[in-house]
């Protein structure tokens, strides 16, 4: 067995064991555009990402990731798959004490 074959086999094995969320990136759902949301969240296509942006525009900033469940087509599995990459930094940003 060649070292190249062994190395490649190990790479394939590692990639198959890593959760899919590893490949996604963190995204602030309160500021990101639809294209960025679709790119960074697993199972969220452009259409669903546009729904997220529209919901945000109508209802204000998301205060928790769980609010995404209010959007038709986003279920518990999609939410849990992406929870580690969902940010809401802008929802908590406000005036600092003493300012």
Say if strands 27-28 and 86-87 run parallel, antiparallel, or are unpaired: parallel
| Residue 53 structure tokens | 């942006």
List pLDDT tens digits, range 62-90. Answer: 999 999 999 999 999 999 999 999 999 86
Domains and CATH numbers, the chain: 20-87 (1.10.150.310)
Average pLDDT over residues 34-40: 96
**Residue 25 confidence (pLDDT):** 84
| Residue 47 structure tokens | 């259409």
Return the percentage of the chain with pLDDT > 90, whole number: 64
List pLDDT tens digits, range 14-25. Answer: 655 555 444 678
What is the average pLDDT score of the chain?
A: 82
For tokens 């679709």, what's the residue?
Answer: 38
| 38 neighbors 45 (Cβ within 8 angstroms) | yes
The per-type count for the chain, helices as H runs and strands as E runs, is 5, 2
């Amino acid at each position: 067995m060649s070292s190249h074959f062994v190395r490649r086999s190990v790479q394939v094995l590692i990639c198959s064991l890593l959760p899919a969320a590893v490949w996604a990136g963190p995204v602030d759902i309160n500021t990101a555009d639809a294209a960025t949301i679709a790119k960074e969240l697993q199972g969220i296509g452009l259409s669903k990402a546009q729904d997220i942006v529209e919901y945000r525009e109508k209802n204000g900033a998301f205060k928790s990731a769980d609010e995404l469940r209010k959007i038709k087509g986003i279920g518990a599995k999609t939410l849990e798959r992406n929870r580690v990459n969902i940010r809401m930094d802008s929802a908590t940003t406000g005036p600092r004490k003493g300012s």
